[in-house]
Every structure is written in C-alpha cells, then in structure tokens.
C-alpha cells in the first residue's frame, strides 16, 4: 500500500509538497525543526500554523524575524468539486505575505493555487498540490532547496520532485527539486 493511501479506506489523500528556501538556513539552521522528506498525515479539520511559536505552530522556523504565527493553511472543498483545496491566511502583523504576485496583509486570506510561490521576508516556499480522494486526511511533505526559487522576478524551472531516498541529509546535498534551465511558467 502506498503511503499516499488512507489507512482505513485505502483512498488516496491530497498531498501538499512544500519546497522551502531561505538564504540563511545553512548558516543558522532556520528549518532545523522541519522533518524534510517525511510525509506527515493531518486531519482535514486542522488549521496548520507556521511561525516562530512552537506551542501554537505545527511547523516552526528558528528565526526571530518570523512572527509567532506567520501564516496558516487550512483545507476546504470548493462548491461542486470532488477535490479539496487550501486557503492561506497571513497571521503576521508586521510582514506581508506574497502568494505569487498577490500581496496579503494581516488577516487577508486567499485560496491557494494548485502550484504557487509563497514569499515573506527572505523566505520562499514553492507549494504544489497533488489531488487525492480522502476528505478525512491530507499529507504535507517538505523539501529543502539550497538555491533560490525565484530569481530576477522569474521562477526557476522545476525538475521532478526528488524521492525521499535522495533527501538524506537534505540540508547538505544539492538535491533541490529546483534547477536552473528553461522556465516552465
């Protein structure tokens, strides 16, 4: 059984792949509490918080520049759709959030495109959704990029997402899913 299947029903689950980049990670270990390549299964009811505060956020960044809660993601189902989508809300009073070219101030929210680049400060997160059937659970899987995901206002193109086996240790190998080349977008 693939890890993409729901244990009880063998339904496939929607998966969110997040490729993280910050120029200071290798020096200061900003992402040290993130388990890269690990697939984590979460209930669809969860509001997933990202930020500095480990008591309120599921995923934390070791960086005093980050707000206690920087942003949240939550799952929803569009009307007349069989697949689930995600909504993002900026929870930071001091830092605006960019989703592709859309700027979110504090408490602004938007539906997340199936593939998009989230940015705040020096952080760049490439988010890609892979559709599944389950309405009970979804998965999040993180990858680390050692190269910027955005350069000169263009996205770098994307190679296929690496398998987990090539991810160990993600933080020291040049195994980013993002490589220079033609721009797909």
Q: Which stretch binds its own copies (CB under 8 A): 22-30, 99-107, 122-130, 167-175?
A: 99-107
Closest residue by Cα to residue 145 from 3, 25, 1: 25
Angle at 23 between CA 107 and CA 168, to 5 degrees: 105
Closest residue by Cα to residue 97 from 72, 68, 128: 72
Q: Write b or e for each residue in 113-127: b if 16 or more Cβ atoms lie within 10 A of its Cβ, otherwise e.
A: beebbbbbbebbbbb
Number of Cβ within 10 Å of residue 77's Cβ equals 12
Token output for 20: 């993280």
Of the candidate residues 41, 62, 96, 108, the single one contacting its own copies (CB under 8 A): 108
| Residues of span 66-85 touching its own copies by CB under 8 A | 69, 75-79, 84
Least Cβ distance, residue 26 to its own copies (angstroms): 32
CB 25 within 8 A of CB 144: yes
Least Cβ distance, residue 52 to its own copies (angstroms): 14
| Residues of span 140-169 touching its own copies by CB under 8 A | none
Beta carbon nearer to its own copies, 7 or 28 = 7
Q: Which stretch binds its own copies (CB under 8 A): 1-9, 32-40, 89-97, 177-185?
A: 89-97
Least Cβ distance, residue 88 to its own copies (angstroms): 11
Terminal CA-to-CA distance of the chain, rounded, Å? 34
| Residue 90: half-sphere exposure toward Cβ, Cα within 13 Å | 21
Residue 45 found at the interface with its own copies (CB under 8 A): yes
Of the candidate residues 3, 23, 47, 159, the single one contacting its own copies (CB under 8 A): 47
- Contact set with its own copies (CB under 8 A): 44-45, 47, 69, 75-79, 84, 87, 89, 91, 93, 105-109, 135
């Amino acid at each position: 059984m693939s890890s993409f299947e729901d244990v009880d029903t063998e339904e496939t689950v929607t998966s969110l792949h997040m490729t993280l980049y910050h120029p200071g990670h290798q020096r200061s270990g900003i992402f040290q509490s993130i388990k890269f390549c690990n697939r984590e299964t979460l209930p669809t009811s969860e509001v997933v918080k990202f930020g500095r505060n480990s008591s309120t956020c599921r995923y934390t960044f070791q960086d005093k520049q980050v707000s206690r809660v920087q942003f949240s993601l939550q799952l929803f189902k569009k009307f007349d759709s069989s697949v689930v989508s995600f909504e993002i809300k900026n929870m930071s009073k001091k830092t605006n959030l960019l989703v592709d070219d859309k700027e979110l101030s504090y408490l602004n929210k938007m539906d997340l495109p199936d593939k998009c680049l989230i940015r705040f400060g020096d952080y760049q997160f490439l988010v890609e959704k892979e559709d599944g059937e389950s309405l009970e659970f979804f998965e999040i899987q993180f990858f680390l990029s050692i190269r910027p995901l955005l350069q000169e206002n263009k996205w770098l193109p994307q190679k296929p997402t690496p398998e987990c086996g090539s991810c160990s240790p993600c933080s020291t190998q040049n195994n980013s899913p993002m490589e220079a080349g033609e721009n797909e977008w």
